[in-house]
Structure 1
């Protein structure tokens, strides 16, 4: 346990450094926004392309893995939605809370953290989790809010959703990398070195940007944010772990899936909440609380699920 904690500590140290720099106004909000943009469009995309170009489709997509993650995550989503409705929330608010319960910071935190700590075996499973989150659950929350506000679901609502997915640099880089792999092209040494150099900036840049973003968040609706953080950090990994056991996912990929489910709430959930005007302060507080608590919960869960 102590060893796992010490291995994760430098990653959270970078998050803390970003928070401190932003809190002291040494790193202003606009600087954090541009750093996030660099990581999102360049460094992380280079990392994802390089990783996925070394995979085949069988390594990325494994039916039992995808089924387990979908079943476990959907169960947590349904619990979050039900709890929200029982508290008297509107459908959009309850859906946004449900989204917080199971959408983790896989892109900015999970990819660098889990691959660094769990090794190359984590690449395929982490990218599978990221893909399902983007294609399934991010689409689901958008369609639910649209349907609730317009009295039903219209086909036209799918167009901006699909356009956003198609334009997402993480999706594009993974698709391009898999295409490269399927084509069987060798990776030229200069290109590989370029991608490795650019991708190496993703980990420190992403973690620093996460911390800088946390400095602008405020603790409001603490009880609700606490419940959502607990659901994300404890209930979600428990649910996907049980689902993985139930459908017989191999121990290695299952441990990566559970560790990915233990990640704190993703920062882009706040962007969705602000875009739709649905509980942005509550979502912001949940991101702050879940990220702070994950310093302890991630090492505990990784220690529990690590294959002997």
Structure 2
């Protein structure tokens, strides 16, 4: 069991450390991290989302109970931690980024190899559903809120202008195009699909390297905020997802897989957003780092519980 957890985590840790050392040794600097963040958020990650959503079979997107339960578990966590962040900071950027860190598990980069070992290739469906909710709702919502928070001036005109700017960003329209292609059964031309996949496959390595680079340029503080974020992500999030699945009577392997996905540490993408927004950087990067380290213990326990459920079934 330990091998199943440590195996996927070691490459993640290696790439993060590589980026950290590059920053500390002056090979890359803070300006480079901003450039890489823009590369991830505006080019390679949207390509991954568009290609992944377009390749998702329409029939899988129509499993409404599972999709709704996933939505409740993911966006419920987002809404809860946003409220906590707003109560603590009374500032839109910090509240949004706290919600993003606590509500977005590292399903794409860590979930796929772990679940494939446990459940086989069919487990990719759970990852796609989670990323569907994240890419169509959480990421665009976070983009919109951060854009609004960064807008100059006040009033309805400034708000509409900020929303218009957010909608034009690739992270807003790329996944929407992909899901529209899936629902209409439109297949991307092979050359276009291969090109998007080629670009999108760079997302895990580049984002992890950038996370390490960001860590090298900010002061990592083990504050109460970080410990609260870690507890919310590793303990409350899988419990909340389990409650949503029970509420909608969703059972079986997909339900078990979704609980495990929510027990994963925070994804690296929120750190890219924090870096680009110039807010909540230390809290976001430290929370991601600590949740990744502690997940070796908490995720092993989650697997133990799920394995017990599989054995009893």
User: Is the alpha carbon distance of 1:90 and 1:132 closer, same or farther for their aligned partners in structure 2, counting shifts above 3 Å?
Assistant: same
Post-superposition Cα deviations, 1:248-273, rounded to whole Å, max 9, x if no partner, equal 23434434433443331621563587
Deviation string, structure 1 residues 275-299 (Cα, Å, up to 9, x no partner): 5xxx655445434433443454445
The whole-number CA distance in structure 2 between the counterparts of 1:92 and 1:76 is 16
> Aligned partners of 1:230, 1:293: CA distance in 2, in Å?
10
Aligned to 1:219: 220
Counterpart-to-counterpart distance in 2, 1:100 and 1:187: 30
Matching of residues 232-243 of structure 1 within 5 Å: 232-243=233-244
1:68-147 to structure 2, matched below 5 A, reads: 68-72=69-73, 73-74=75-76, 77-78=79-80, 81=83, 85=87, 89-92=88-91, 95=95, 99=99, 102-104=102-104, 109-118=106-115, 119=121, 120-130=124-134, 131-136=136-141
Shift of 1:244: 1.5
Change (3 A) 1:232 1:273: farther
User: CA contact under 8 A between 1:12 and 1:295: conserved in structure 2?
Assistant: no
Separation in structure 1 between the aligned mates of residue 296 and residue 212 of structure 2, nearest angstrom: 13
Computed over aligned residues only, the root mean square deviation of the Cα atoms, in angstroms, reads: 3.8
Residue 274 of structure 2, aligned match among 266, 270, 273: 270
Structure 2 CA distance for partners of 1:272 and 1:230, relative to 1, 3 Å: farther
Change (3 A) 1:242 1:187: same
How far 1:185 sits from its partner (Å)? 3.9
Report if aligned partners of 1:233, 1:290 keep a CA contact under 8 Å in 2. Answer: yes
SS in 2 for 1:215: helix
Tell me if the contact between 2:271 and 2:281 (Cα under 8 Å) persists in the aligned partners: no
* CA shift in 2, pair 1:20/1:84, >3 Å: same
Tell me by how many angstroms 1:208 deviates: 1.7
Per the normalisation by structure 2, the TM-score is 0.73
Ranges in structure 2 where 5+ consecutive residues have no aligned partner: 116-120
Q: TM-score, normalised by structure 1?
A: 0.74
Moved more, 60-69 or 122-131: 60-69
| Contact 1:75 1:239 (C-alpha < 8 Å) held by counterparts | yes
Name 2:201's counterpart in structure 1: 200
**How many angstroms does 1:31 deviate by?**
2.7
**Structure 1 unaligned spans of 5+:** none
User: How many residues align structurally?
Assistant: 293
